[in-house]
Amino acid sequence: MSRIIGYHLGRAPAIFRLGFLALIATVVIVSPSMTWANVPPPPVNQYLGVPDVRYRDMTSATCLECHGNPGKAAAPVKSGYLPDRHHLRIDTPIGRFSASPFPERSPDGNHKCVTCHQLVWREDGSRPAGGSVQLVLDEGFRDCLNGCHTQKKNQLGRLIASVHHLTENAQLANCHNCHGSLIDDPNGDHRIPDPIGNPGDRENHYDISLTTPWPGIGFYNSRVQLRGALRAYYRPRLVLPPSPSEEQLLAKQETEALIDYIMDNFNPPIGETGRPMGNCSYCHFAGTDDMTGLRIGVNYANHHGTGVGQPGTGSVHGCTLCHQPSAPPDYTIRGCERCHGIESLHNIEYDANGDGVVIGEEDPFYGHIGNPKNCDGCHRNYQGEISGASAGGTTGGDFLIPEITEISVSSAVAGRATRLTISGTGFMDREHAGTQSSWLRLEGIDRNTFDIPPDLLSPSQMEVTLERNIPPGSYRMRVVKQREPDRKTVTSTALNFLIVPEPTIDSAVCAGDRVTITGSGFGSYLEAVDSGTMVSASSSSCDITSWSDDRIVAECSSLGEGSVRVDGIFGSATTPLSCDSGRPRWWTIWSWWSSWSWSRR
């Protein structure tokens, strides 16, 4: 859910188009030292976050490549068993951007079986009522895109939006809920060093310089376009009122001189990737990732492919979420920094050896701060020596963002303690040992949060015990890391994790042909043929009178010695059953004595 705008440099978070994802059967996590890794890029090695691809032209098969088989997913969804994940939304609120196809069928505004499942009346003369209500199980029943997660098309019928970026988190611009600290919320309070957009805060901002990165190389090929982009950015200083003040005249003169200075010295060298340095696309560019086999897209297509801000998608955002309203549009890095701020960019690094990141001493092209070559790739816009951060620190923060690459299980059963092993990178920084702590966080749909301390912790692995008191539900899982003494935290991208209820029967009480079953984890009942939710006694199905998560009342025609079984949406439970005819106990004794007495005559 996915990442709303942008590519985080180090592995761009773009949920965009991936028509060819169905071709990928497996994704193998390998050591970057292996020869098939992209050294040097492009495209950048796809180890962190979400691949630089476009998840737009989807099919149900491509959806299931990640969501149906989490262990072999190309993107780190770790969704668990899909039916459970959907069923756990029952009795949770139907939000404004819910994918539920029949929200009007809910009596209380919460998800129900019937808000997703379609029921129809089928004529059947063999039944007493002349027919029955049945669950629609046509060939499109399990198609993710059939009425639920609908893709958006424009007037020409072309797909223009990813289903991931039309969710509530994306529409509210809460990117961190899926992307963690790898990118920033576009409307957040992180620092953007933009003296044009924020003229009142000179202390924390600075003008564009020779070491300021550019998003791409489009302007490198045309000096006219480059100057035009700079003049568009500095337009507020260059366009004077009819009677300008001396300060305004001086500001225009200084800005013209700055533009001339940049134009005279702007001469990016060609790096070992074969592309000009000083911009994002030096590493983040189209190609095939050797590790996953993914076809990587260009940043322009990746970003626009989300549908965020694109006309006709239904997105509440517009172009100004990324682009400043200048004419021509502002193509400098300042617009990118709304989602890719200084600290988020300068704390991304893949720990190739699993022993903690040492700033400036890691292999190049696996992050942003591990090697001086990474600094050059973004900052070297002139024919000089290294212009970026040194091995002693970074331009932004110094607090490595953690990232999860694998979890030992994707779900747990409520009421049972579960041991969980999380593998990844950046759980501890070797540079800051003793000044930080990390833990696991589970956040439910209802925002109920559980922070779980690790039993064991290393830079690349965390072992935790999920206690039995965590209630059933669908959770976002992330690693949280805190720095002392300022208690600042950064988080990994979110994975989905399930706590599934275990159906249990505490008692089954008979009264004539009626049985009352109490317990927990029954879920909801879908009154339809072949729905999978039912009660049976002595292998014969019963008619349901009432059904809730902890109590079921059913009418059965064959109650007696044997067992009763409850089949719920999360599993089944069986208990022994001993029922009499419904007469008082004294009648049973008298009947037995009478029969015995007559047999003795």
Question: What local confidence, expressed as pLDDT, does residue 2 receive?
Answer: 31
Phi-psi region of 19 (alpha: psi -120 to 50; beta: other; left: phi over 0): alpha
Closest CA to 427 of 488, 372, 479: 479
User: In this structure, are residues 43 and 400 in contact, taking their beta carbons and an 8 Å threshold?
Assistant: no
**Mean pLDDT calculated for residue range 192-196:** 86
Enumerate residues 6+ apart whose C-beta is below 8 A from 564: 505, 508, 515, 517, 535, 536, 537, 556, 574, 575, 577
Question: What local confidence, expressed as pLDDT, does residue 471 receive?
Answer: 92
Whether 15 has a pLDDT exceeding 50, the answer reads no
Strands 534-537 and 159-161: unpaired
Question: What local confidence, expressed as pLDDT, does residue 535 receive?
Answer: 94
User: In this structure, are residues 414 and 500 in contact, taking their beta carbons and an 8 Å threshold?
Assistant: yes
CA distance linking residue 419 with residue 237, whole number of Å: 60
CA distance linking residue 24 with residue 434, whole number of Å: 42
Share of the chain above pLDDT 90, in %: 34
Whether 537 has a pLDDT exceeding 70, the answer reads yes
Instruction: Specify the DSSP element, H or E, that contains 52.
Output: strand 52-53
Cα 478–chain centre separation: 10
User: In this structure, are residues 397 and 436 in contact, taking their beta carbons and an 8 Å threshold?
Assistant: no
**Cα angle at 544 between 543 and 550, to 5 degrees?**
145
Tokens, residue 190: 């992180």
Question: What local confidence, expressed as pLDDT, does residue 18 receive?
Answer: 29
Give Cα separations from 187 to 176, 196, 319 (angstroms). 11, 17, 14
Closest CA to 212 of 271, 265, 275, 270: 265
Question: What local confidence, expressed as pLDDT, does residue 133 receive?
Answer: 82
SS3 of 171-202: the string is HCCCCHHHHHHHCCCCCCCCCCCCCCCCCCCC
- Looking at every residue in the chain, the average pLDDT score rounds to 81
Q: Is 274 exposed, middle or buried (0-12, 13-18, 19+ CB in 10 A)?
A: exposed
User: In this structure, are residues 572 and 533 in contact, taking their beta carbons and an 8 Å threshold?
Assistant: no
* pLDDT-derived band at 74, boundaries 50, 70, 90: low
Q: Give the DSSP letter of residue 526.
A: -
User: What single letter denotes the amino acid at residue 323?
Assistant: H
**Cα angle at 107 between 545 and 553, to 5 degrees?**
15
Q: Specify the higher pLDDT residue, 325 or 409.
A: 409
Instruction: Specify the DSSP element, H or E, that contains 122.
Output: strand 119-123
What radius of gyration do the chain's Cα atoms show?
A: 30
pTM strictly above 0.95: no
Q: Specify the higher pLDDT residue, 526 or 75.
A: 526
Question: What local confidence, expressed as pLDDT, does residue 67 receive?
Answer: 82
Instruction: Specify the DSSP element, H or E, that contains 571.
Output: strand 571-577
Question: What local confidence, expressed as pLDDT, does residue 555 receive?
Answer: 92
**Mean pLDDT calculated for residue range 277-288:** 92
Polymer length in residues for the chain: 601
Closest CA to 11 of 251, 470, 350: 350
Interval 362-417: pLDDT, tens: 889 999 998 999 999 999 999 876 544 433 344 445 688 999 988 998 889 999 99
The alpha carbon dihedral of 167, 164, 141, 565 has a sign of: negative
SS3 of 66-102: the string is HHCCHHHCCCCCCCCCHHHHHHCCCCCECCCCCCCCC
CA distance linking residue 268 with residue 279, whole number of Å: 9
Question: What local confidence, expressed as pLDDT, does residue 27 receive?
Answer: 33
Question: What local confidence, expressed as pLDDT, does residue 20 receive?
Answer: 28
Interval 445-503: pLDDT, tens: 878 899 999 999 999 999 999 999 999 998 999 999 998 778 889 999 998 899 999 99
Whether 180 has a pLDDT exceeding 50, the answer reads yes
**Cα angle at 501 between 499 and 505, to 5 degrees?**
160
Question: What local confidence, expressed as pLDDT, does residue 11 receive?
Answer: 33
Interval 352-374: pLDDT, tens: 877 888 888 888 999 999 899 99
Enumerate residues 6+ apart whose C-beta is below 8 A from 537: 515, 554, 556, 558, 559, 562, 563, 564, 565, 577
